[in-house]
Amino acid sequence: MHSFGHKQQEIADALHISQQLVSKAIIRGTVEDRPGHRAKETQAWLRENVPDFISNKEWPPYSPTPF
């Protein structure tokens, strides 16, 4: 089984971004309602690769984070 940090690194590598940026996005708990985040390919990748992903249709825009 992979550690959560290892999974973050896999996501960072796939997106060509830093693991720190992935951590910040996960801590925040949302994907902002920007066109790039709503793209079908992005949503599909996130559904397949991010545990507990909440799609842009399930999360109302401008809503506060739940924590």
pLDDT per residue, tens digit, the chain (67 aa), is 455 567 888 888 888 888 877 777 765 555 555 556 567 887 788 888 887 887 777 776 666 655 4
Q: Give, in order, the Cα–Cα distances in Å from 10 to each of 14, 29, 33, 51.
A: 6, 18, 23, 13
Q: In this predicted structure, what is the pLDDT of residue 60? A: 67
User: Beta-strand (E) ranges in the chain?
Assistant: none
